[in-house]
Each structure stands twice: as structure tokens, then as C-alpha cells.
Chain A
Amino acid sequence: MSRIRPLDMSRKQYQQLADTLCKLTKRFNRHEVQCLMKVFSTLVATFPEQRIAVGLDRNKFRNVLHTTFGLTDDMITDRVFRVFDRDNDSFVNMREWIEGLSIILRGTLDEKIKFCFEVFDLNGDGFISREEMFHMLKSSLIKQPTEEDPDEGVKDLVEIALKKMDYDHDNKVSYADFEKAVKVDNLLLEAFGSCLPDSKSALAFEEQAFKKNKDD
């Protein structure tokens, strides 16, 4: 299932797709899947300059994350896009959309840990390294013009995070490390930047998506 053209699909195809996706995710019921599909179609259609679109491209997707889920950090949203886009074709298609949403909206803690780790693992090598942390935390502190080394604070913060999460002392955070750290302290789930919608915006999104479609 690589190329899906939601706008040109026949009704039957559409229903079939809904069924498959419904079975796949399990967290959404049929009605909800259909609603989310509708949202997806609308989103794709709202950008007229790309009529032949096969899904949401990076910019559109980031826009969605920004406006609906309040995720603002460009680097992080970029990574979220990468994680959503499982097949690496630079588009988030219908299936990826539903699967991704099922995790960030209704995923278990384990799924979320996996998701976040993938987001934070910038180069995808299975570890969050010092450099990656530095990169992600670079803009998290307010720089003081008077400070001698403007990055000193960030470096320090990286050390703190590493101390907190690097259980096997190999100077990088493996998936196991990350999982353990989050299990100990849930707050560390989004340790290097918000990549999940907060409960309020998630609720608002679900309400809007599922309710609006009930009417028609």
C-alpha cells in the first residue's frame, strides 16, 4: 500500500481502506477512522497548489502539528514528520496518518516511549548522543549576551540529562536507557522537546474531528 489517492478513490475503495485501517490500529473504531480519513482528505485538499498530492508533505504536516497540536519547535516537528512517514517518501499518507495519530492520541506509554525515542534519535542510529541532545536543547535556554560561553548552559543541561538517563554509562542514551528513565519519571517522556500533543489540544482535536463528522 504505497500510493493512495484519497480524492480520486472510489467509494468502495474508500470503505475498504477504512476497514483495513480500522483493523490495523484497533484504537479507533470504524466511525472514528472514517472521520480521521475525512480530516486527512480535507487537509490535503486545503492546499490547492499541490493538487496532485499523495498525502501531506513536510510543510503541510508541520503546519498541522503547529496549529492543531501546539507543537512549535521546528526541529522537533520535522522529526515527528520523519517518524510519521514510515516509508520515507516525504509524504504522510492516509495509513501513516491514522497509525501515527493512534500513537500520539491514544498510544500506551510504551508506544509513546518508542515514538518519542525515534523523534529524539535524530540520525536514527538507535542512540541519543550528546551531540543530538545538544542540538535539541540548543535553543532551550535564554542566552545572556554577557555570558562568556553562550553554550555553557546548554552543555551543562545536556550533562544533567545524560546523568539522569544514561544508566549504562556509555555516554549516550540507548532505547533501553530511555525506556527505563521514563518509567522511573514520566516527565522525561518528552525530555528534549514537546513532540506529543498536550491533553487539552488532543481532546479538542478529537472532539472536533469526531463530532463535526457526525453531523454530516
Chain B
Amino acid sequence: MGVALTRAAQWTAAGIGVGKLEFTPLNISLLNSIIKFVEYVSSKHPQEAALVFREPLEWKSNLEISGFGADYQISKRTVVSKETVDGNPLLILDDSTGVIKVSTFSQLAKLLEIAQKEKLKETQACLEANRDPIAKILGPSFATVEGEDKSMLRLLEKVKKGDEEPEAEAQMKLFLLLQQLDMQLLNTSLQKISQEVRLNPQAIKNDVQLLQSFSGEGDLTVLRSINYTSEYEFSNGCRAPPWRQVHGDICYLIINTHDTETLYVTCNTAGVYLNGNFVLQKKSTPTRKTQKAEVPTNEELDQTEKFSEYQDKNKFERKKPPPKPKTRDIKKEETSFVHKALESSHRLSIKDEKAQLKVQDTKKIKKEKENVEMVAARKYKCKAAQEKAHLIQRVVSDGSEELSESSTESEEDKQDMNRQQESGTDLPSEYWQIQKVVKYLKGGNQTATVIALCSMRDFNLTNETCQLAIRDVGGLEVLINLLDTEETKCKVGSLRILKEISKNPQIRRSLAELGGLQIMVKILDSSNKDLKCLAAETIANIAKFRRARQTVRLHGGIQRLVGLLDCVPTSAHLTAEQEKDIEVARCGALALWSCSKSKKNKDAIRKAGGIPLLACLLKSPYENMLIPVVGTLQECASEPSYRLAIRTENMVKNLVRNLSSESEELQMHCARAIFKCAEDEETRNLVRTHFGLGPLVKLVSKSDNKQLLAAATGAVWKCAISMENVERFKHLKVAETLISLLIGQPEEVLINVVGALGQLARDPVIRGAIRRSSGIGPLVNLLTGTNNALLVNVTKAVGECAVDPENMSIIESLDGVRLLWSLLKKPNPDIQASAAWALCPCIENAKEAGEMVRSFVGGLELIVNLLKSDDIEVLASVCAALAKIAMDEENLAVITDHGVVQMLSSLTYTRDDMLRQNLADAVACCCKWGNNRVAFGETGAVAPLVHYLKSKSPRVHRATAQALYQLSFDPNNCITMHENGVVKLLLNLMDSTDEALQEAAAGCIANIRRLALANEKARYK
């Protein structure tokens, strides 16, 4: 009932706190249904009704004590039910406040009985006080969440697991009952709401326009015509005359259909009526029509879209009625029916192709004669034309599709195109043989078909020429047609071929365009396990591009594929059947792996219950099973929900185990999964407790496989975010290995290596190790790179290294600080911030820091100007750097000249604690020059700073106290502070254990006090 309550019930406008249910008919009916439900539960389901709520429902009741009967213990001020659980009464009413607490449904029902006429009011009060009763009844994990709802699954799992928890079953039943109620409530309220919906002119106009676009002469249209009776449209959108508009008429339509006589229709705000026989058809009529209209539309578009030659031919075939075959036993042979239909046009297509080939041959000869330039030019033209055609096709067919499924589509396309260009230049002998075999496929009964299918497998189907030959002679259509027959053998044979040739990207597209995926998804329901395997494997091959993945999802493929995963847990002895089940699961996982590259598919897999199944398969000992399973998980781990599941379903353990597998591919996927999941702290700890860090380090030292290396170093990077892991890594001496990887690796590896070093360098020992294995040089060199992600990591790593003074001297000698400083000029805020952070330890630890900073021409102006950034992280890092810069008096003078005081003051109104801390630091440091203290006071920085003391962060307190101490040397500032109540706040902070804070606070108060004393003295003089 949670959803119904949040969505359907009409609450008063008050957004937060206790809202009131409005007194509307809808709400009353809702309340009545809920009352009925409570009574029904307690009478029909006593067991569930006795289930004690996790938290009692609590509300302010108007019931009189006297109303309670013998079941209750009535004292002066309270009523307590005699029924108790563990000594706690199930109902408590406190008369003085009127608050009532109820813990079971049976008590609720009794209460309603007592309430009699007040029933409605009590229920209303109860629901108003408990906006999400389910959460209280069944526990917070069942709180109503907008959108999808996993609570059911969770509960189911609980029930599955637990004999130890008998309560779960009752809970489950109760939950189901509540859900039922929810649905019922929603349905009734929907009915009520829809009664009130009325038609408006705009809606009708849209419908008419839509229908008009599908009408005209010809077979493919829905209607012959649809027109208004009047061309004149009033300003309110109606076309009916004003005296009819009073009655709600909007317009009148004349509709010519293909199969009935002309219809006259009146559109009224109350609905659409057919004139003459006055049949009331609610709004459903036009919508139904539009639905009908959709089918031919697709077909229509389909047919106009068809560009390529064979598709044209195909269309031609379809239009021709298939000649009736004359063999005796034809009735039983569904396959041959299809074959024969195709056969008739087949001869035609062969002729066509022959002609085409001749043309190509002559072209070839010519080509040889032409000079090289011409060839190149023609090739270019050809490519451009292809690209264009392809583009148009994609634009037309993709028009309706949403663009959610990001990723590498365009790259895939380009790849396809390049390949397309290569083909079609010369025709090998296989082409003719394949053409012949396809002919028998088309024109044979199932025996001939099977022979043809078997012989087709003898061709080298991995060869692109053969793959394209099959497509070019129209083999794909036939193979897909075969999938739609009843013949298992034909299906198996066809799928075996499709499985192979669908490895070719062009074939993939053609198959998807020919509607092959839909049929294969259907085959997943088959009882034949071989067929299921083959279909899933083929889907796995085809679903390598976005639209195919979408098609699989839209036709319910994800659910079916997830269904395939459900095989018996692996045991030592397997029957042949079980082995097949495992094979089916493997193929299912393969297909899901391909599909999981789309975000929506990831959601679909989760919703179909794929995660526990994947977790189960992850325990499998078989490598060929593990690769697709881990691949899928790894792909999905980009979603937070999956990361959570991987952690909670105890998958980390198995991922770690497989890091030490034989297969490099499996190792890579595991490392990638850990890389993605280790964003989460608990997962990082799990990796360590399952002894995963050792194997990771081992992988890092294998430098021949770049992908594996990138994955492993990525995992090390993310794991190293936890200091405990860094400790472990220190023992494993990973830093030395990583440093050896700083040179000569591709960028994807470098980013991770440097990221890992940056995290590891937080440990002083590792900082030293980096220096000793001469890692500083390569790191500083990388500062000149261009890759943004790499630069962010490099700056961080250099910054961490610079904390060590010895490292710093090397960085200085390599001119690293200048490089860092110049990165401040990059437009990317991430780089700016990370460079500014890195500068802090550099300035702090450099020997002649002030001199060095001054030597950067225009450097100080640059960094001060970054205070105009919008990015909080940039601002905070720049403040921190400015605090360090201001240590040097001369530099402080320069930045003061650049207007740093004004800019810092303008930032003081921030609410971000990190920025506050660094800002206060910077203010404290900048106070030490000239009349900056006064300037801060004049620019209004003091009052907001005082309020920082109310923040929760002790670091902010310290920095602020120091800033205030500095500012308090100016009497005017003291007055402002005092006005803002600083004394009380500082006094509160003085019992802190932080000495710096204590000192600053005390100093500040001393300054204020001194001013007051001086003031008094002056007065009494």
C-alpha cells in the first residue's frame, strides 16, 4: 500500500513533516479499502495478523479509555492490551497525550471494532502519522521506494535460505497481502481518476493528424481518408459551431475506411461517438486505432528503407504469391513451403548476380589500365558513397531510438565500413560453390536442406569471403527462414552456420536487420538444449552492437537468457544431462556478456534476477564458464547496484580466487571487476582479507599482456586507496614493479600505474622506495603529457612524493615544480585542482621556496586568478597553495597586489567544509602583510568566518580559530567578531585536545579582552 499511499492518495500541500489527507471521495474510498483489508487479514489470516510489527504504528488517537473492553488492562492514565509478546503489550494508549501504539494487525482490527464510527478518522490519523506503514510493519528494508522494488526478491531469498527463521514465511505472506492491497488500491484510484479525464481539442487534433499521416489510397494505409467537416478552427482549438461547443462538442470527422462505408464521428469532451447508431466509445477508440496504425507503419518504413540490392529483390519476392508446390507429402513439410516460395525468384537473382559480376570484371580490367591516382580517387568516392548510404540507413532506422546506450557505436561502424570496402573486388571459387549450396537450401525439402547445411559447414566459415558470399547470394534470409520452421535438424544446422558467420560485423548487422534476433530469442524457449546453446551463442556474437542489444532486450531476450543460467550447482559427478545444463548456462552467460555492454540491459539483467545466478556460476571450477560470467560481472560493475551485489553476495572471494587462474583472459576480467568494485571501501577490505593483493601484485609483474596489465594495475590502484592495503602492498614491494612500468607502456596502463603510485606514495617508506628505484624522474617526465586522466594521476603522485624532502630536491632539480605550475593553465578543472594540491607540499619542502616561486614569471597572478573558478575542488586546492605561498613575505606582498584579499573574502560565504578549512588557512596566512587584516575586515570576511566555528569539522575549527586570531589584531575586527558572538563559540572550543586550536582561540579571546580593557581604561581616564 506504500505506492498507493504516496502516489494515489491526495495529500495536502504541506511537503515536509506530517501532511494531512484531504477529505476527498478518493481518499475516503482508499481508507475504506484499507479498513476492510485490516479486518480481512485478522479474520482470514490469523497467523499473519499475529506477526509483530518491527516498529509499532504510532499516532494520536481520539478514542476514549472507557471504550476498551475486557481484553485490556485499564489503569487511570493508560490502556494496555492483555495480549503481550515478550512482556511488551501489543497495544498501549496513553490517555494524557492520546498517543496510541499498536503492534499487530489483530490489535488494529480490534481497535477498529472499538472505534466504531470513528473508524475512518482513526485510520486517517494513523496513516497521516505513518506515511510509509510498510516500513514500520516489515522493517525499513521494505520502505516504499519510487521505481523498482527489490524487497520481494530479498524476502524470497530469506525464505529460501531459512528454516532458522520461521517468521520469514509469515512475513512473506503478509507482504504479499500488502502488495495485493496496494495493487487493488491503485487500480480503484486509477479508475476514479480516469473517469474525470476529459478529451481536449489538442488531443483530438494530434490523433487526427497521426491517422491522416497513415491514410491514403493503397493497401498499406489504415484508412482511405480522415477529414474534419469544417476547415475553420476556433481560437480554442474546436471546430464545432459555438452553440454545439456549449455541449462539449469539439469537432466532427468524416472517415473513409477500406472495408466499411463512410463513418461520421463526433468528438466530444466526454468521448468519441459514431454518429447514426450512437455507440458510445470512450477514448479507447482513437488509441486503438493508432495502435493498429503502428503495424503497417513499421512495414512501410521498412520497405522504403531498403537500399541494398538484395533487399530489393527480397521485397519483390515477398509480394509475389508463392506458387503452390505439387509434391504429394507437401502438407506435412512446412520447410519446403518456404523453400519453394524462395525458389521462384531465385533464378532471377542468379541472373542478376551474373550480370553484376560481368560488370565487375570489366571494371577490373579497366582499373588496371587506369593510373594510380584515378584508382585512389575512385576508391575514395566509393567509400564516401558507402558511408553516406550507411549513414542514411542508420539515421532512418535509428530515428526513434533513444541515445542512452553510449559507448563505441561509431567506432564499430567505422570498422565495418573499412571492411566493406575491401570486399567485392574479386570472386573466388568458393563463391560459386556457396551459391549452389544455398540454391539447394532454398529449393530442397528437409533432407536436401540438411545435406546442404552440412556441406556448407565444410567451407571455411571463418573466412570473410565465404561469410560475405553467403550473404550476397541471399543465404542469410534462407538460414533465418529455417529457424522459423518446426524442424529441429534444420534449425540446428542453420544455427551452427549462423554462429560461425555472425563473427563478421557486417553479417551481424544484416542478421539483425533481417529480424534474426527475434527468432533466436524465441528459440531460447525451446526444450532442445542444443538449440538453446546455439541460439544463445549466436546472440552473443550478434549483440556486439547497440541496436542488436536493444532488440534482444525489447523482445524479452534478457529474461530468457538469465533463465538459461539456472543450472544445478556443480558437483563432482555430473550426468550427461547436467553437463548439458552447464553448457546451456555457459552459452547464456556468453550472450549476457555481449548484452551487458548496454546500460539498460544491465538493469534488465538485474531485474530478471541474474545477479544471484551469476554469483552461483562464479563458484564453478570451469574456466570456459568463468570467463563469460566474470566478463558479464565486470561489464556490469560500472553500476553501483552491481558493485553492492558483488560485495554482499560474497563474490569478491571467487574473483580473488580466479586471479590465480591459468587463463590470462579470466585473470584480466577478474582484475577489471576488482578495479571497478574497489571504489568501495568494504570491497577493498574484502580483497585484502581474501588474500587478493598478493595475486594482483603477481599479475602486475607480467608485463607482456597489456590488457591484463592495465586491469591489474587498475585494481592495485583502487585497492591502494585503503591504507591497510597500502601496508600490505609495502610488504609485497609492488612500488618497485610499478616504477619499472613507468616507461614504454601504453597510456591505459600508465594511468593506472601512476594512479597506484599516487595512492601508495602516501606511505613514507614507499615514498623513499620510489626515490631509491629512481621513479621520480619518469614521473616528472610524465607531467609533460597530454592525456587528462593521466595528468590528474601524475600530479597527484608527484605531489605525494614531494612530501619527502629528499624527493623534493630531485623534483626541484628536474624542474618539476615549474611543470606542475604550468598545468594550472589547463582548462580542465580536475587537472587544475590536482596540480594545485601537488604544489602545496612542493612549496613547503623546497629549499628556497620563495625564490623558486618568484622565478615563475606571471605564476602568482595565474594562481590568484584561479580563485575565480567555479569548481569547489579547484578553489580549495588553490587556497591551500596560497597559504603555502604566503609563508614567504615577498610573495605575500605580490599576491596582495594581485587582489587576493578581496577574492578570498568573496569566497567566505561557502558552505563546503573542505573549502572553508583551506580558505581560513589562506586568510590566516595572508593576514601577516601590511594592512591585510584591516582589508579583510573591510571586505566583510570576518562575520562569515565566525560562523565557521559552528561547523562540525574540527579541522575547520582549527583553521578558523587561527584566522580569527590573526584578524583579532585589528580592533574593528574584534568588534565584528564580538557582535557575531565569537567569544562563546571560542570558549566552547577551548576544551578541545588540539593544542593549536586552543592556542589560537585563547589568543583571539585575549586580543578581544585586551581591546575591551583598553576601552574601559580610556573611558575612566
> Which residues of A are at the interface with B, using a C-beta cutoff of 8 A?
70, 72-74, 136-137, 139-142, 144, 146, 153, 156-157, 160-161, 163-164, 185, 187-188, 190-194, 198-199
Give the interface centre of A70, A72, A192 by most chain B CB atoms within 10 Å. Answer: A72
> Does the CB pair A193–B447 fall under 8 Å?
yes
On whether the beta carbons of A139 and B327 are closer than 8 Å, the reply is: yes
Complex interface: chain B residues within 8 A of A139 (CB): 327, 445
A187 engages B493 (CB within 8 Å):
yes
Contact: A187 with B454, CB < 8 Å? yes
- How far apart are A75's CB and chain B's nearest CB, in angstroms? 11
Count of CB-CB pairs between chains A and B under 8 Å:
82
CA distance A190 to B445 in the complex (A): 13
Chain A residues with CB under 8 A of B444: 140-142, 157
A164 near B455 (CB under 8 angstroms)? yes
Closest to B453 in A: A187
| Chain B, 304-337, CB within 8 A of any chain A CB | 325, 327, 329, 332-333, 336
**A199 in contact with B488 given A142-B339, A142-B443 (CB within 8 Å):** yes
Q: Which residues 497-530 of B sit at the A interface, judged by CB distance below 8 A? A: 528
CA distance A198 to B335 in the complex (A): 15
Q: Contacts A73-B329, A187-B489, A194-B446: A141 and B440 contacting too (C-beta < 8 A)?
A: yes
Cβ–Cβ contact B445 & A140, under 8 A: yes
B347 touches A191 (CB 8 A): no
Residues 691-735 of B, flagged 1 when their CB comes within 8 A of A and 0 if not, give 000000000000000000000000000000000000000000000
B457 within 8 A of A: yes
Measured in the bound complex, the distance between the Cα atoms of B447 and A141 in whole Å is: 9
> Are A187 and B492 closer than 8 Å at their CB atoms?
yes
- Supposing A144-B343, A156-B436, A187-B493 touch, asked if A192 and B332 sit within 8 A by C-beta, the answer is no
B437 nearest in chain A by CB position: A160
User: Chain B's nearest CB lies how many Å from the CB of A62?
Assistant: 12
Q: Give the distance to chain A from B16, nearest Cβ to Cβ, in Å.
A: 63
A193 to B444, CA, bound (A): 12
For the complex, what is the distance from the CA of A197 to the CA of B405, rounded to whole Å? 46
A199 to B527, CA, bound (A): 10
User: Are the CB atoms of A153 and B447 closer together than 8 Å?
Assistant: no
User: Which of chain B's residues has its CB closest to A146's CB?
Assistant: B347
Which residues of the other chain, A, contact B493 by a CB distance below 8 angstroms? Answer: 187
- Known contacts: A199-B488, A199-B528. The answer to whether A161 contacts B451 by CB under 8 A is yes
- The answer, yes or no, to whether B452 is at the interface (CB within 8 Å) is yes
Binding site for A on B (CB under 8 A): 325, 327, 329, 332-333, 336, 339-340, 343, 347, 436-437, 439-440, 443-448, 450-455, 457-458, 487-489, 492-493, 528
17 additional contacts (CB under 8 A) given A72-B332, A137-B448: A140-B444, A141-B440, A142-B327, A142-B339, A142-B343, A153-B439, A153-B443, A157-B444, A157-B448, A157-B452, A160-B440, A161-B455, A187-B450, A187-B489, A188-B451, A190-B489, A193-B447
Q: List 19 A-B contacts (CB under 8 A).
A: A72-B333, A137-B447, A137-B451, A139-B445, A141-B443, A141-B448, A142-B327, A142-B336, A142-B343, A157-B444, A157-B451, A160-B440, A160-B451, A160-B455, A163-B455, A164-B454, A164-B458, A185-B454, A187-B450
Nearest CB in chain A to that of B492: its residue = A187
Rounded to whole angstroms, the CA-CA distance of A142 and B326 in the bound complex is: 9
Instruction: Give Cα A156–Cα B447 distance, bound, in whole angstroms.
Output: 14
Q: Is the CB of A140 within 8 A of B448?
A: yes
The answer for the CA separation of A185 and B493 in the assembled complex, in Å, is 10
Question: Are B325 and A142 in contact, with the CB atoms below 8 A?
Answer: yes
Complexed CA–CA distance, A164 and B450 (Å): 12
Task: For B527, give the chain A residue with the smallest CB separation.
Answer: A199
Chain A residues with CB under 8 Å of B437's CB are 160
Q: State the CA gap A80–B545 with chains docked (Å).
A: 49
Please indicate which of the listed interface residues A137, A141, A146, A156 has the most CB atoms of chain B within 10 Å of its own CB.
A141
For B336, list chain A residues within 8 Å (CB): 142
Which residues does chain B contribute within 8 Å of A74, judged by CB atoms? 329
Least Cβ–Cβ distance between B901 and chain A, in angstroms: 86
Chain B residue at minimum C-beta to C-beta distance from A73 = B329
Q: Which residues of A contact B329 (CB under 8 A)?
A: 72-74
The interface residues of chain B lying within 8 Å CB-to-CB of A164 are: 451, 454-455, 458
**10 smallest beta-carbon distances between A and B, as pairs:** A140-B448, A72-B329, A160-B455, A142-B443, A140-B447, A140-B445, A72-B332, A193-B447, A141-B444, A161-B451
Min CB gap A164→B, angstroms: 6
